């Protein structure tokens, strides 16, 4: 067998960039001044579901960088109190408070609580995902762990009747976590927006009508 000119990793990276550059939603995001194609995942769900019932509601965006979801919420609900948190740096979004911290740490939770000024949250968004190791079981365990942390935050801060939208992956632990969500919310739906790549295993859990108690 002849020697390949590129390593598998380089070929994969090159193919990813080519696919990314030709992506319809990437082109739309660039043309419309959005920070990433992820904006269209949120706008599609906002079109089909009432996620925020109060124009001056409180929205917390977990894993918010690069800020496309915060941009969309501010555009549609300019009076809302928006708080985003991410481990990565992010250019400031108009109308939003950004906390650069690791959501899994106690220090980050304390900063979030300070930013809330005692107000309950109306909508929690989570686009958090682990740094992918390439090991399916490990990555699945990590995303479910992040889902659990987001739910714990919701249980302690979400307004009765509030909603949550969070990224997950189908796999080990997914059904159990969805059942756990159903114990706290009136309705739980599994959705895959058109802007999610068909080749991606990501999907979103839409939890509506937080009960506030079991």
Q: Which is catalytic among the residues 6, 41, 54, 167?
A: 167
Helix axes 38-48, 68-76, angle to 10 degrees: 40
Token readout for 151 is 């739910």
Rounded Cα–Cα distance for residues 68 and 203 (Å): 18
Phi/psi-derived region of residue 188, left when phi > 0, alpha when psi is between -120 and 50, beta in every other case: beta
Rounded Cα–Cα distance for residues 32 and 37 (Å): 10
Count of C-beta atoms within a 10 Å radius of residue 147: 23
Q: Say if strands 96-100 and 81-86 run parallel, antiparallel, or are unpaired.
A: parallel
Active-site residue, 167 included: yes
Residues annotated as part of the active site: 167
């Amino acid at each position: 067998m002849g020697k390949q000119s590129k390593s598998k990793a380089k070929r994969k990276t090159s193919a990813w960039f080519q696919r990314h550059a030709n992506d319809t939603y990437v082109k739309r995001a660039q043309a419309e001044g959005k920070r990433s194609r992820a904006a269209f995942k949120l706008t599609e769900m906002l079109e089909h579901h009432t996620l925020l019932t109060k124009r001056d509601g409180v929205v917390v965006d977990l894993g918010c960088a690069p800020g496309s979801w915060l941009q969309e919420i501010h555009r549609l609900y300019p009076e809302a109190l928006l708080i985003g948190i991410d481990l990565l740096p992010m250019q400031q979004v108009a109308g939003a408070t950004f906390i650069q911290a690791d959501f899994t740490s106690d220090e980050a939770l304390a900063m979030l609580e300070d930013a809330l000024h005692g107000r309950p949250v109306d909508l929690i968004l989570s686009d958090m995902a682990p740094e992918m190791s390439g090991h399916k079981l490990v990555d699945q365990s990590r995303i479910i762990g992040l889902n659990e942390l987001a739910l714990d935050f919701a249980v302690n801060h979400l307004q009765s009747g509030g909603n949550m939208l969070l990224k997950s992956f189908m796999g080990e632990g997914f059904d159990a976590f969805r059942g756990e969500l159903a114990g706290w919310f009136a309705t739980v739906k599994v959705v895959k927006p058109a802007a999610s790549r068909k080749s991606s295993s990501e999907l979103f859990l839409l939890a509506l009508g937080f009960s506030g108690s079991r």
